[in-house]
Amino acid sequence: MLEITGLTWAVTIGLVVGLLALDLILAAVRPHKVGFREATAWSVFYIAVAIAFGLWFMASYGGDFGTQYFAGYIVEKSLSVDNLFVFVIIMTTFAVPEEHQHKVLTFGIVLALVMRAIFIALGATLLSLFSFMFLIFGLLLIFTAVQLFRHRDEDPDIEDNGVVKAARRLLPVTEEYVEGKLVVRVDGRRMVTPLFIVLIAIGSIDLLFALDSIPAVFGVTEEPYIVFAANAFALLGLRALFFLVKGLLDRLVYLSAGLAVILAFIGVKLILHWAHVDIDPAVPEISTPVSLVVILVVLVVVTVASLIKTKGDPTAKAHPGSLKASKKKDDQQASA
């Protein structure tokens, strides 16, 4: 059992909040189009911070817990790339001006961290009270994996999002983005700008990703501290990574299929753990080192296969995948 002191928790949270504040301040003080060189430098910095933390954690608490952290970090980083896919779609759908994209990304990252912190606390409590929650989490991940694989070549329909549709129906929305403001007064009437609707879309998407990512990382480790650290460090560099890989995302044509395989694998791991604990100790379990190797192999194969595919077929375009059939696609099939 991993024992983390209150001081270690405080220092870790302080480090995460400090890095997040740095990102926020830099984005607010000098809003500008982020270039490739700048995005690369910041991405390397955040990955280096995550690796340095992992090495310190491994040296302080042992190789097993260190392996759990790195496995959790890789899972969350992989899912965060898929999250970026959806961010790009939201930015494109609502035609967000480049000078306001950093604000949307920062909001998305902060909200993702908050939601994950809430789900981590809930997940850890449920797992400590009810061992059958491993079975529930495992089945949830397998269901998600099947749906993601079935709709791997689709994009989520942002305009069909229930929360976004309700916001558009209930709130008066301006036609233009007004200097990056969320709420403005027009002819004496208070109205929200499209940026407000974009933030609602980002928030609802963050909620869906939190529902998937937390059970996934709990499939790698049961330690709330490791789950929090893996999530926090994976999300911290998301803003820089967005500008770095925005042009490369279209080439990762098999990423959604690879993530489906990873989620299904972790789901099976959780179910085996539940069976080992609640049914028969003779039921085999999948160790963390094996999980780490499987995840890395799947990601390498997916990346290489994607690059080979797009090189041979430049028209091939990646999609983040969806958990349900797109309404637009259904309408196209019906009209055909």
Q: Are 75 and 310 in contact (CB under 8 A)?
A: no
Distance CA 73, CA 79 (A): 10
> What pLDDT is stored for residue 327 in this prediction?
60
Per DSSP, 35 falls in state P
Here the tokens at position 255 are 């990423």
pLDDT tens, residue by residue, 314-335: 888 777 677 676 665 555 544 4
d(CA 14, CA 330): 47
The predicted structure's pLDDT at residue 32:
65
Q: Are 297 and 303 in contact (CB under 8 A)?
A: no
What pLDDT, on a 0 to 100 scale, did the predictor assign at position 51? 95
Q: What is the C-alpha to C-alpha distance for residues 79 and 210, in angstroms, rounded to an integer?
A: 10
**Max CA distance (Å), the chain:** 72
Residue 60: pLDDT band (50, 70, 90) is very high
| pLDDT confidence band for 336 (50 / 70 / 90) | very low
Please say whether the beta carbons of 140 and 315 come within 8 A: no
Question: Rounded to an integer, what distance in angstroms lies between the CA atom of residue 57 and that of residue 61?
Answer: 6
Residue 159 above 70 pLDDT? no
Q: Are 4 and 93 contacting, i.e. CB atoms less than 8 angstroms apart?
A: no
Position with higher pLDDT, 244 vs 5: 5
Would you say residue 1 has pLDDT above 90?
A: no
Domains of the chain by residue range: 6-312
Task: Give the C-alpha separation, 225 to 228, whole Å.
Answer: 5
Q: How many residues does this entry show for the chain?
A: 336
Encoded tokens for 283:
């039921």
Measure the CA–CA gap between 319 and 137, rounded to whole angstroms.
25
Query: Cα angle at 175 between 167 and 195, to 5 degrees?
Result: 55
Backbone angles phi, psi at 21, to 5 degrees: -65, -40
pLDDT digits (tens, 9 = 90+) for 183-204: 888 877 888 888 888 888 888 8
**Model pTM?**
0.77
Cβ neighbourhood burial of 113 (10 Å; 0-12, 13-18, 19+) = buried
pLDDT of 302 higher than 50: yes
Query: Which residue would you say has higher pLDDT here, 82 or 236?
Result: 236
The torsion angle over the Cα atoms of residues 9, 10, 14 and 17, rounded to 10 degrees, is 60
Model confidence at 152: pLDDT above 50: yes
pLDDT (0 to 100) of residue 247: 63
Each residue's pLDDT tens digit, 234-284: 888 777 777 777 666 677 888 888 888 988 998 899 899 889 888 888 999
Q: Alpha-carbon distance 209 to 196, whole Å?
A: 20
